[in-house]
Structure 1
Amino acid sequence: MERKDFETWLDNISVTFLSLTDLQKNETLDHLISLSGAVQLRHLSNNLETLLKRDFLKLLPLELSFYLLKWLDPQTLLTCCLVSKQWNKVISACTEVWQTACKNLGWQIDDSVQDALHWKKVYLKAILRMKQLEDHEAFETSSLIGHSARVYALYYKDGLLCTVFSVDYNDELDILVSGSADFTVKVWALSAGTCLNTLTGHTEWVTKVVLQKCKVKSLLHSPGDYILLSADKYEIKIWPIGREINCKCLKTLSVSEDRSICLQPRLHFDGKYIVCSSALGLYQWDFASYDILRVIKTPEIANLALLGFGDIFALLFDNRYLYIMDLRTESLISRWPLPEYRKSKRGSSFLAGEASWLNGLDGHNDTGLVFATSMPDHSIHLVLWKEHS
């Protein structure tokens, strides 16, 4: 057939083909394939591969590729990295994808770091640590042995573990504050070692004192003011404190006015929120208004005591286990068995270690001490983060 005649025939048959239904088109193609030889089938195979197996990550602009990748979950992305070197290169270069994946796991993100490969590595480390938490394998235990009598009180700050009772201090103010079983809070001059003031008003043992700089404004305080919190079995008292020594209680917080509900002997205050646990759950107060923001209940486990509270996680415990709660879902995501020990009523025989990870893991702050408690055999039982493998 001459070229001109062939082109005319091809135009006519194309018009007819386009007028067919999908089923008729399929039957036509099946018939043509059955009539084709090896040369035609090879030609068809090569063209189909080009049409149907286009590498969109290679063909699309990088910005569009990144936009599409954002819709995939991290596990799928990791699988896609195995497709080819090109796919691995493009996917690993998408900073926003891996930063978002880390954020969703509750990890702290420094947005100034735009190295995508760094965040992919951080995600891989994060997913391993979260898997260890879910499988209750993130910690290990150790003991400190050397006391000849039982240790009744522990204190931990800046990496130092000491045996003292209910104190906090501030070098800038040259002040140390202490709570006591005589229902008082004492303010001491650090450099001189003299008692500057005795704060009264509690009717139970003062089991916790916290000295912290305020971060919010209200009618009673301004950002930058130093605030002292003291807690007993039923109440939390808020005191202003600075270079002036004489001060009066600003506010008293409680869970129940009739004192029917006890507070657990632990207190969290970060300058914006106050958190304490009770038999009804975790209570979180807004420090600007003193209003209760939320009550987090754990119906499956009652009477959990608070060890630490952050933006992402809370560290809790009872007589049998150490628990980690994801505050975004208010669910317990991990637990670690504890040995039999006597939990002191004043809360001085147990404590949390480094707590920055409660605001989000970052791959570096999940090290060192998590929890410590004194034991009847005069030793100190430690729960530590396992080192990254």
Structure 2
Amino acid sequence: MDNTAFERWLESVSATFLSLNDQQRNQSLDHLISLSGAAQLRHLSNGLETLLKRDFLRLLPLELAFYLLRWLDPQTLLTCCLVCKQWNKVINSCTEVWQGVCRELGWKTDESIQDAAHWKGVYLKAKLRMMQLKDQEAFVTSSLIGHSARVYALYYKDGLLCTGSDDLSAKLWDVRTGQCIYGIQTHTCATVKFDEQKLVTGSFDNTVACWEWSTGAKIQQFRGHTGAVFSVDYNDELDVLVSGSADFSVKVWSLSAGACLNTLTGHTEWVTKVILQKSEVESVVHSPGDYILLSADKYEIKVWPLGREINCKCLKTLSVSEDRSISLQPRLQFDGRYIVCSSDLGVYQWDFASFEIIRVIKMQDPANLSLLSFGEVFALLFDNHFLYVMDLRTEAISGRWPLPAYRKSKRGSSFLAGVTSWLNGLDGGNDSGLVFATSMPDHSIHLVLWKENG
């Protein structure tokens, strides 16, 4: 058949084909395929691949491809990376996508790092860590053994844990190795705080003392309280030490001289927590950089201005119930911007600029569930059986860890959180070191630490 005759035939067949319904068209194609040889079938296969298998991700501009990829969940993204080299290249070059999925897991993202492969690696590591939290595989435990009587006072800083005991001693431990670095003779310690040179202790004998680590010598003693001292804090720049006591008072001392500068009254219950911290926000009554003293008892938190002028009046009294029907737990936290404290109803967060309650997290069993530490992304809580990690964005429990039968004190000093920077967002480096410590009935200290993330 010559070309002219073929073109007339093809035009006639095409017109007839277009007049058929779908079923008739399908039957016609099936018949033609059955009559085709190898060359025709190869041609048909190549043509169909071009028509039906268009790679839209490759054809789209990168900006549109990135926009579409942001709608995919992380697991689908990882699956798409396996489709072909081109898809893997496009997906691995989308920094915003991988930064976004990292943030969803509670990971910090540094906007200055624009390497998508870096953030993909961070995501994979983050996913592993979050799965470990869920499956109770994120932590390991160890014990510190050395005291011969009840351990009540605990304080953690920079990889070192200080313990104060009824055996009239205080010890400083390297949490990583479990080795005791210093051990000095003291009094019965109800609270401790330390730095590189000194240790400050509050005691059940109603006194506060300052000791030198290297020699064990008592540098200073602070006498004046008529009840046990449950909490201390100090600031070398101000040369000030503050203490909260069972005599319902807060005392302000000269750290170097040991003299009492002021006694702050107004509490009607044991003062179980004092915090000395700079304000990071401004309000009508304070400015950024002002030193603020917080003191807490069973029902109230009092806010005091404490700068160069030692004599001060209470700025504000915070509570969660006017009739004192709701008790506060002694886990007061203040970072200069927010005040956080748990109660018999749940966890309360106050804005320090306005003193308004900005968040209340209701818990199923708040009477038994205690707050350890509160961050921007996660919170650490525990009860008689488990340590819990809560995602504050959803208020859902991300993971838990079993705890042994320990001595849980209502005053809250025989347990503490370790490294807390990860509560503001994990970054792949701050999920290490101490998570939780508590004293045990056998006078040892039980530690919960992050497992190394491979």
Normalised-by-shorter TM-score class: over 0.9
1:262 corresponds in structure 2 to 327
Question: d(CA) in 1 for partners of 2:16 and 2:336?
Answer: 78
SS at match of 2:387: strand
Question: d(CA) in 2 for partners of 1:346 and 1:34?
Answer: 87
Contact 2:80/2:87, CA 8 A, preserved across alignment:
yes
Gaps of 5+ in 1: none
Give, as a single letter, the amino acid of the residue that structure 1 aligns with 2:100. T
Deviation at 1:106, TM superposition (A): 1.0
| Match of residue 371, structure 2, among 275, 290, 306 | 306
Q: CA RMSD in A?
A: 2.0
Give, as a single letter, the amino acid of the residue that structure 2 aligns with 1:118. H
> Does 2:234 align with 1:169?
yes
Deviation at 1:171, TM superposition (A): 3.9
| Match of residue 243, structure 1, among 297, 305, 308 | 308
| Match of residue 214, structure 1, among 249, 273, 279 | 279
- Normalised to the residue count of structure 2, the TM-score between the two structures is 0.81
1:231 corresponds in structure 2 to 296
Contact 1:183/1:203, CA 8 A, preserved across alignment:
yes
Q: Over residues 151-202 of structure 1, what are the superposed CA-to-partner deviations in whole Å (9 max), with x where a residue is unaligned?
A: 1111123333223152333344343322222222233344445443322222
Contact 1:315/1:325, CA 8 A, preserved across alignment:
yes
Pairwise mapping of residues 11-160 of structure 1 onto structure 2 (< 5 A)? 11-160=11-160
Contact 1:229/1:238, CA 8 A, preserved across alignment:
yes
My pick for the range that moved more, 262-271 or 157-166, is 157-166
Question: d(CA) in 2 for partners of 1:189 and 1:89?
Answer: 64
My pick for the range that moved more, 6-15 or 202-211, is 6-15
Question: d(CA) in 1 for partners of 2:422 and 2:85?
Answer: 35
Q: Measured at CA, do residues 150 and 88 of structure 1 come closer, stay the same or move farther in structure 2, by a change above 3 Å? A: same
My pick for the range that moved more, 6-15 or 175-184, is 6-15
Deviation at 1:28, TM superposition (A): 2.7
1:291 corresponds in structure 2 to 356
1:204 corresponds in structure 2 to 269
Give, as a single letter, the amino acid of the residue that structure 2 aligns with 1:358. L
2:390 corresponds in structure 1 to 325
Deviation at 1:300, TM superposition (A): 5.6
Q: Over residues 71-105 of structure 1, what are the superposed CA-to-partner deviations in whole Å (9 max), with x where a residue is unaligned?
A: 21111111222223332222122111110000111
Deviation at 1:9, TM superposition (A): 3.3
Give, as a single letter, the amino acid of the residue that structure 2 aligns with 1:178. S
Give, as a single letter, the amino acid of the residue that structure 1 aligns with 2:444. S
Q: Measured at CA, do residues 39 and 162 of structure 1 come closer, stay the same or move farther in structure 2, by a change above 3 Å? A: same
Give, as a single letter, the amino acid of the residue that structure 1 aligns with 2:156. Y
Higher strand share: 2
My pick for the range that moved more, 210-219 or 251-260, is 210-219
Q: Over residues 212-242 of structure 1, what are the superposed CA-to-partner deviations in whole Å (9 max), with x where a residue is unaligned?
A: 2223322222223222111111111111111
Deviation at 1:108, TM superposition (A): 1.1
Question: d(CA) in 1 for partners of 2:338 and 2:372?
Answer: 15
Percent identity between the aligned chains? 80
SS at match of 2:66: helix
Question: d(CA) in 2 for partners of 1:25 and 1:208?
Answer: 84
Contact 1:280/1:303, CA 8 A, preserved across alignment:
no
My pick for the range that moved more, 374-383 or 196-205, is 196-205
Contact 2:343/2:366, CA 8 A, preserved across alignment:
no
Give aligned pairs, total. Answer: 389
SS at match of 1:110: coil
Contact 1:312/1:326, CA 8 A, preserved across alignment:
yes
Contact 1:154/1:162, CA 8 A, preserved across alignment:
yes
Q: Over residues 231-289 of structure 1, what are the superposed CA-to-partner deviations in whole Å (9 max), with x where a residue is unaligned?
A: 11111111111122111111111122222221111012222221111111111222222
1:373 corresponds in structure 2 to 438
| Match of residue 357, structure 1, among 400, 404, 422 | 422
Q: Measured at CA, do residues 12 and 146 of structure 1 come closer, stay the same or move farther in structure 2, by a change above 3 Å? A: same
Contact 2:344/2:366, CA 8 A, preserved across alignment:
no
Contact 1:278/1:304, CA 8 A, preserved across alignment:
no
SS at match of 1:146: coil
Answer 1 or 2: higher relative contact order, Cα 8 Å, separation at least 6.
1
Gaps of 5+ in 2: 164-191, 193-229
Q: Over residues 283-326 of structure 1, what are the superposed CA-to-partner deviations in whole Å (9 max), with x where a residue is unaligned?
A: 12222222222321122664311111111111111122111111
